[in-house]
Structure 1
Amino acid sequence: MTSSGLKDVVVPLPIQIVIDDVGWWTPTDGSAKDEPFRSGMPRAHVPADYAAIARLGNRLGMRPQAAMMLCDWDRDLLLRELPEATWMGRDWNHPWCEHPHLDEAAQILNDEADHLEIVVHGLAHEWWGGPTMERAEWANPEGVMRPRHLLERHLEVYAAILRRNGLAGEHEGLPPFFVPCAFRHSFGEGSDGIAGLLAQVGISYVSTPFSSMRQLATPQTDRIAIECGVMTVDRGGGSPSWKHVAASPPEAVDGPIIGLHWPNLLHQDPSRNDEVIDDWVAALTRIGQAPDRWLAPDTPSAWSQLAHVECTQIVQDGNVIGFDFTALDALPSTVALGEFVVKTTQRSPPRFAAGVHVLDSTWNPGGHHWLTRLAR
């Protein structure tokens, strides 16, 4: 928030990029025959499609979220143990078990770990616990969580597939990030609900549109919902169609998340993926130059920054910038919220009151502002 007395001091809105349905190798929308919607890409996916995400992150100095579907990565057919997880039930099989693309893509994901985040999304996205496919894997169309004991197994198998493909990275189990399939999700059930389950396995960063989230309690702010230590951020709306190949980047960004699906960033010809990515880089670089926007380097930074945007008040004492953290401190216990950034447009370096210390401060000539990273 910006005080009325300090028009040249802003806690800028963070921007994180969330890319759903990364991980499908077979792209075909099979929903008409009780199979997953998949990515909808009109060509097969190739390792270059993973390199495209890394290029986006590398050129922007960010780690976009790659929300991954893993059934096509199941080398050992573990999903036969979860008949409700696929359309084949206990007869689960697929053609990618020994395909060299898996090793090639895994190498890219590991080599480019500084430029993307692997995010828990799902196994096959939907639910086959009855005679026909239902949306979605983690909750039904009303947002009611699927049976907890089955979801615990889904998460265990998800972690096992990551490990089998060498994608567990620094996380022994699951990465701490989650995007619910089809945005079927709920808030307000405490330890008995999905937040309790996610917290149990070490997931603490979630995003989904609040407009489609089943709400049994009121979120703490318009864009933040915290329970069981899990911080869920409103993804908002207005995204390109999930099947839209090479979508045009936005002119402006009004929320903390740019919600995309994998085809939006890809070209029909994979050798031309860079053309699509470079258009997005140019647009987002311009947006990030604005005094009230900030391209967050990763999800923890974005979530912390958003909490300060929603809760922290700027106060003025002469030429010294101070902060009132009363509303921030009133939030329930959650992820680390100690660091945030401010942008100041006066040419002289900013000065700050006691209560924060400067981690670094740089002048951005393109945006005509100081970007200062602070810690409480």
Structure 2
Amino acid sequence: MNKEDLFCIPHSFLLVVDDVGWWCGDDHRYKNGPSRSGIGRRHCIEDYKAIVEIGRSLNMRVKCGFVVGEWDRCNLLAKVRNSNKHGALWDNASQLDPQIDEVRDLINSSKDYMEIALHGVMHMFWTDEGIMKYAEFYQTCEETGKNKMTPPDIVREHLDAYFEILRQNGLTTDIKSFIPPCFRYVYSRDKDQLSAILSEYGIKYISTPFSSMEYTSPEKPEGACVENGIITVDRTNDLIPWDAVDAQTPDIIKKSYFGMHWPNFLNKDPEKNMETVARWIKYFEQYKNNFEILPARDNAIGSTQALYKRFTNLSFCDGRMVLDFSEVDAQGAKDLDGTLYVNIVNTINPKADEAVDLKIYEVHENYTTYKVERRKPFASKAVISFAG
């Protein structure tokens, strides 16, 4: 039997859902508006119950890319540059959804199963002339065809407005994660890039498909990386079109984050949402007992696990598994959690050295998931000995 069949640092699986927060589900790009969720109806509390049900089935805090513009109770966005097509005439306060308070209460009471992630005030960028451009934090530079960042002062205006609208509604402002609208993003450790500003606002994690991500580093990152203290994880390409309603489940398993858009597990008739949800719950059952996959409890665990997966040097010699964390520590993640997870077959009885604590996290039919906690001060290596 190969050593890869005996133990591994599993890939982190986290469900990530974009475009939560919209009330109007209509795509208005044809008239200079945002794409929204594209579901073609208004969203309602049943759509949020669907998220909670999937999260409960996975025992996971589903990462929800949340757009706040249509929650603006005080017409704040009338004063925020480049945030919407109406400019100073923005009026959302007169058309708040009647379920807004009920949904707010559901979100606040469901924190065990859903987690708000920053996804913009209105997802797009409107020029000073009122023309919509993709996307809120990066647009295409006409000269180079590359992503050009929204000016830093306007970025901060949008971020300030985002958190203020959350406060208006009594929603949590303890937001630790960012999902780039339209996947327009540039990975960079430079201090003049978006990640540096996001870190000022407490963002510690980013996830986006690396296939569409631009970068300023000499080589394109793989799997997971760190920029300005933030752990950025490859969500990999979504398997479902963004506007597919009541989508069919795929026939493959992803060994990565699983990105979706809100309508994918909703129904045109919200009363039938749970029929669609049941299909997706059945699909995700496959991820619960897979030797190579860790269903992460939340985004912090998933991001940290992805970083350890990417940079831990794992070797095996004389019945011992050696974990070398030197490269992990060298990445410079802010407040790096010393916890990772390993899967070991049940025919082995593992014992750890003094560098880590080793605890059973979950027992499966053929293997056990162990929680590995590095003791402080962090040692660069840890050894786990095997006995049959």
TM category, shorter: over 0.9
Q: Does 1:161 align with 2:165?
A: yes
- 1:326–1:189 CA distance, 2 compared to 1 (3 A): closer
- Which ranges of structure 1 fall in alignment gaps of 5 or more residues? none
- State the TM-score, normalized to the length of structure 2: 0.89
Q: Any conservation in 2 of the 1:136–1:182 contact (CA below 8 Å)? A: yes
Cα offset, 1:220, TM superposition: 7.8
Query: 2: CA distance between counterparts of 1:26 and 1:233?
Result: 30
What residue is the counterpart of 1:59 in the other structure? 57
Letter in 2 for 1:144: K
What residue is the counterpart of 1:281 in the other structure? 281
- 1:370–1:213 CA distance, 2 compared to 1 (3 A): same
Q: Name the SS for the 1:65 alignment partner.
A: strand
Q: Any conservation in 1 of the 2:61–2:298 contact (CA below 8 Å)? A: yes
Cα offset, 1:301, TM superposition: 0.5
Query: 1: CA distance between counterparts of 2:296 and 2:357?
Result: 19
Greater length-normalized contact order (CA 8 Å, ≥ 6 residues apart)? 1
Q: Any conservation in 2 of the 1:143–1:213 contact (CA below 8 Å)? A: no
Q: Any conservation in 2 of the 1:320–1:352 contact (CA below 8 Å)? A: no
- 1:25–1:19 CA distance, 2 compared to 1 (3 A): same
- 1:327–1:222 CA distance, 2 compared to 1 (3 A): same
- 1:319–1:137 CA distance, 2 compared to 1 (3 A): same
- State the TM-score, normalized to the length of structure 1: 0.92
Residue among 121, 124, 131 paired with 2:122: 124
Cα offset, 1:98, TM superposition: 4.0
- RMSD of the TM alignment (CA)? 2.0
- 1:257–1:361 CA distance, 2 compared to 1 (3 A): closer
Q: Does 1:143 align with 2:147?
A: yes
What residue is the counterpart of 1:375 in the other structure? 373
1:75-99 deviations in Å (ceiling 9; x for gaps): 1110000141001111001376543
1:334-355 deviations in Å (ceiling 9; x for gaps): 3524111111123344333342
- 1:332–1:260 CA distance, 2 compared to 1 (3 A): same
Query: 1: CA distance between counterparts of 2:4 and 2:224?
Result: 25
Query: 2: CA distance between counterparts of 1:315 and 1:48?
Result: 49
Q: How does 1:271-350 map to 2 (within 5 A)?
A: 271-316=271-316, 318-350=318-350
Number of residue-to-residue matches in the alignment: 368
What residue is the counterpart of 1:351 in the other structure? 351
Q: Quick check: 229-238 or 9-18, which moved more?
A: 229-238
Q: How does 1:1-376 map to 2 (within 5 A)?
A: 5=3, 7-94=5-92, 97-131=95-129, 132-141=131-140, 142-168=146-172, 171=174, 175-188=175-188, 190-218=190-218, 221-316=221-316, 318-365=318-365, 368-376=366-374
What residue is the counterpart of 2:384 in the other structure? none
Q: Any conservation in 2 of the 1:11–1:341 contact (CA below 8 Å)? A: yes
* Matched-pair identity in %: 29
Query: 1: CA distance between counterparts of 2:218 and 2:285?
Result: 35
- Which ranges of structure 2 fall in alignment gaps of 5 or more residues? 141-145, 375-388
- 1:374–1:192 CA distance, 2 compared to 1 (3 A): same
Q: Any conservation in 2 of the 1:63–1:297 contact (CA below 8 Å)? A: yes
Q: Any conservation in 1 of the 2:351–2:358 contact (CA below 8 Å)? A: no
